[in-house]
Structure 1
Amino acid sequence: MHDVIVIGAGLAGLRCAGLLSARGLDVVVLEAADAVGGRQRTDIVDGFRLDRGFQVLNPAYPALRRSVDLDALALGSFPVGMRVRTAEGMAELRHPLRYPQSIAASLRSGLVNTRDAVALARWAAPALVHPLSRLARNDVAVREGWDAVGLRGPLRTAVLEPFLAGVLAERRGETSEAFVRLLVRYFVLGRPGLPAQGIAAVPEQLAAHARTTGADIRLDTSAGRISALGEEIRAEVSEGDSVRAARVVVAVGPDAVTDLTGLARPATNGLQTWWFAADEPPTASALLTVDGRGRGPVVNTVVMTHTVPSYAPAGRHLIAATCLLPRRGDPAEENEVRRHLSEIWGADISAWELIRRDDITDALPAQPAPLGAARSPRYAERLYVAGDHRDTASIQGALASGERAARAVLNDAGSSSSTASPHR
């Protein structure tokens, strides 16, 4: 019998397993897929490196810095800013502190006026000085927060709203203001990018550490019914046998947590990413590009290979385009996406080759206001739950949730210390 079964080899499950095995516990991880990673997967298709949906990794996430060796990831960093398609043409906005020489161009763009700039500064300032618990007091939807500070001009409608639609997977402004402020803090402090080997490099590093400390990670092993019998918990597995342990951590995605625990299915938002190959890029810029005219279906697009050249074979370029994936209604079709991309880039894209379309139904847990505190990992006697749906909808939330679950297990198992040394 094992000490702990961890069901799910996503970020939360791998982080939890690594911490527990580093403390000497006998840990087995059951993963239904053929590789670790959960939603953080990367596939090689015709020489192109395709993440499962458009991903970014922010090195400012505290839990990420505790969990992995960032230098080993060889991150390529996106420029901190964006390009905005307007009725007059293409405008560029960059982080004014990191690129002070860009301030004049930003002011000339027509997207930034003094009233909006002051309102945004008033709104964002608390995120830089207060913890999330403080930000969440009297929390409202982000659209209400922006209304309250008078942020109503083009900086909101043409820049922030289109940008956040792709980040939050919703365009109605229903997401918690506190959560959006937290994301703003991380964007200010960090420079998001991607590992040279794809987003899968993060869970692969976590899995390597867990295995080094003794964890047994079993792929292609689907866990079924969980039942308690005396001092042990049994998890039925796809091979027909069962795995026994003193404790079980369920670290699966929102789509599977109900079947294993009985918890209500977490609400989620969906995203659709289109991957195109081209011999010539539509721009020399590596900035994320949005449509500030309020048109769709594309919410953002970017030339990936300007930031991570390893995502394409030599001499080719990879372009990502992301759309919202509605719960009700039809998803975007290729002809719509191509039409809109042609407008955004101002280029003929008819020669672009569609490599793959990723429909990620459960891309992100929804984070409506008011934002609640991170949920306890303890669900039942010797049964724990971890995942970003128990914390915040981010890589930071997934890793932090895995850490909390590990601390709870160690405390309940009578360990003398509730944390393990972070892997570097």
Structure 2
Amino acid sequence: MLEPAYQADVVVVGAGVAGLSAAHRLISAGVTTAVLEAAPYVGGRMSTEKVDGFRLDRIGQLLSTSYPELELSPGLDALVLRPFAPGVLLHSDGRRHRAGAPARGGSARSALHAVRALASAPRSSAAPAVRARALGPAALPRARTGALPRPRAGAPLGSAVDQARLGSALTRFAATPVERLLARPELPAARALAARGLPARTVDGFLRPLLATLLCDPDLTTSSRCADLALRTFASGRLCLPEGGAEVVPELLAATLPPGTVHTGVRVTAVSTTSVTTAEHGEIRCRAVLVATDARAAAELLPGLRVPDFHPVTVVHHTTDDPPATGGYLLLDSDRGGPVAHTAVVSRVDPARAPAGRALVSSTVLGPCPAEVDTAVRIHLSRLYGTSTARWETLAVHHTAEAVPAMRPPHDLRRPVRLLAGLYVCGDHRDTSTVQGALHSAHRASTAILSDLAANRPMHHADPSPATPRAAA
């Protein structure tokens, strides 16, 4: 435990992926760093419940093999990703259709951010495991797909010509520089889709449910620039899960920090540019403070910091010994005929999430949680998978009211991380509302801290409750 007189160059408040990643960068630069976390565990919203051998994510974050920060962040060398089958499955009019998969023999450019397979899955039903560090030009192996219907006229993608136009559009997204996407006019994503030059059937049957899944925003009120970045991520990589559950990412970051860096069960009640005040250990003096909590907790410590709206997410986990035959695909509902936005037999993607002989089906509901959510989800899943769910066992229902910060226009993708010399903030609410955004904001914040410390700028000697940062920060 910390002593009242403990000192460090930097105190990081919050042991989520942003705070832990920033601590890695600071320590690598020779800056003594202490990470304080109020909860008894690290990870924040990236948590995983363990029930009878199952690993159940509370929010069910989808990662992508094209997230550059997964490869750039120190401490994630051993992170193993389990990719979904290429593209997604769309349920429409009682049928399932493959969509969004890269064409065979794709160009090197479209495969630039794919990762090379390093290990075989322990079960034949799973896609090969890949490591986040192994970025390279080799495309991922194609997963076993089973007897699934091919897209055809009448499917959500429309005619063969419409499908070709969609494939061309996704290829362009994968090759478009980020700077060009960010220079486009900013609108709500739902309005911007109409200007994409694609048939209404393709937009409504594929792009809307896909973006709702990627952004956790069923109404697509998100900034069109953020939506374009999400489509670029989808088009240039593969959706995936961290092997063993979402909690593996923060746990890897914490485990690879020097012993004694992370202190859980320590509640920070006030911050200044030169100290933090804790409920358990009084004042801890330092040269700089980085607040790396969620947006609401950050605003309590930093008066004037803007608190965004949030998208609620509910994840319902079921198990069965007779899983539906959908391969390792993410299944979306083009018809929007029930509460489930997307679902998957995640134990086919990551066998570590379920004990032998059992399948784990995880389904995500976006927006307000409906009444009798498990019953409503079971009915919907029965239609999506084309099988009875009456004997499926419910393992958990996780509802998170403030799961994902909203990114409505106008949205600044690079909100300030330096509030004052000596006082900084990072998290997914300062960047994009993704794991990639959280890690990138940590990169920006740690860079600002190191620059200020190197310049030896005079620090503000503020009271434990700092002066109000810029009102719109």
Give the C-alpha shift of residue 204 in structure 1: 1.6
- 1:170-249 mapped onto 2 (5 Å cutoff): 170-211=217-258, 216-227=261-272, 232-233=274-275, 235-249=276-290
**8 Å contact 1:22–1:210 — kept in the other structure?**
no
- Once the two structures are superposed, residues 96-128 of structure 1 have per-residue CA deviations (whole angstroms, 9 ceiling, x without a partner) of 425899999223452223247536745872552
Q: Which residue of 1 aligns with 2:330?
A: 288
Q: Which residue of 1 aligns with 2:27?
A: 21
Structure 1: gaps spanning 5 or more residues: 417-424
- 1:63-212 mapped onto 2 (5 Å cutoff): 63-68=69-74, 72-98=78-104, 105-108=150-153, 110-112=155-157, 113=159, 114-115=161-162, 117-118=164-165, 121-122=168-169, 125=172, 128-132=175-179, 134-211=181-258
Q: Which runs of 4+ in 1 moved over 6 A?
A: 99-104
1:368 aligns with 2:408: yes
* Matched residue type, 1:348: S
**8 Å contact 2:173–2:232 — kept in the other structure?**
no
| Higher helix fraction (1 or 2) | 1
**8 Å contact 1:291–1:299 — kept in the other structure?**
yes
CA distance 1:373–1:162, change in 2 (3 Å): closer
CA distance 1:124–1:21, change in 2 (3 Å): same
CA distance 1:271–1:122, change in 2 (3 Å): same
- Once the two structures are superposed, residues 267-311 of structure 1 have per-residue CA deviations (whole angstroms, 9 ceiling, x without a partner) of 221110001111110224221112222212111110001110110
**8 Å contact 2:223–2:411 — kept in the other structure?**
yes
Whole-angstrom CA distance in 2 between matches of 1:37 and 1:192: 21
* Matched residue type, 1:400: H
Counterpart pick for 2:419 among 379, 400, 413 = 379
**8 Å contact 1:36–1:203 — kept in the other structure?**
yes
Whole-angstrom CA distance in 1 between matches of 2:205 and 2:341: 11
Give the C-alpha shift of residue 340 in structure 1: 1.0
**8 Å contact 1:176–1:371 — kept in the other structure?**
yes
Superposition TM-score, scaled by structure 2 size: 0.80
* Matched residue type, 2:204: T
Structure 2: gaps spanning 5 or more residues: 1-6, 107-141, 457-473
**8 Å contact 1:158–1:294 — kept in the other structure?**
no
* Matched residue type, 1:188: A
SS at match of 1:414: helix
**8 Å contact 2:181–2:229 — kept in the other structure?**
no
Counterpart pick for 1:339 among 379, 392, 397 = 379
1:36 aligns with 2:77: no
Give the C-alpha shift of residue 152 in structure 1: 4.3
Q: Which residue of 1 aligns with 2:463?
A: none
CA distance 1:69–1:194, change in 2 (3 Å): farther
- 1:246-395 mapped onto 2 (5 Å cutoff): 246-262=287-303, 263-326=305-368, 330=370, 333-395=373-435
Give the C-alpha shift of residue 185 in structure 1: 1.9
SS at match of 2:9: strand
CA distance 1:122–1:321, change in 2 (3 Å): closer
Question: Percent sequence identity over matched residues?
Answer: 34
**8 Å contact 1:136–1:371 — kept in the other structure?**
no
SS at match of 2:394: strand
Superposition TM-score, scaled by structure 1 size: 0.89
Between 1:356-365 and 1:144-153, the stretch displaced more is 144-153
**8 Å contact 1:139–1:177 — kept in the other structure?**
yes
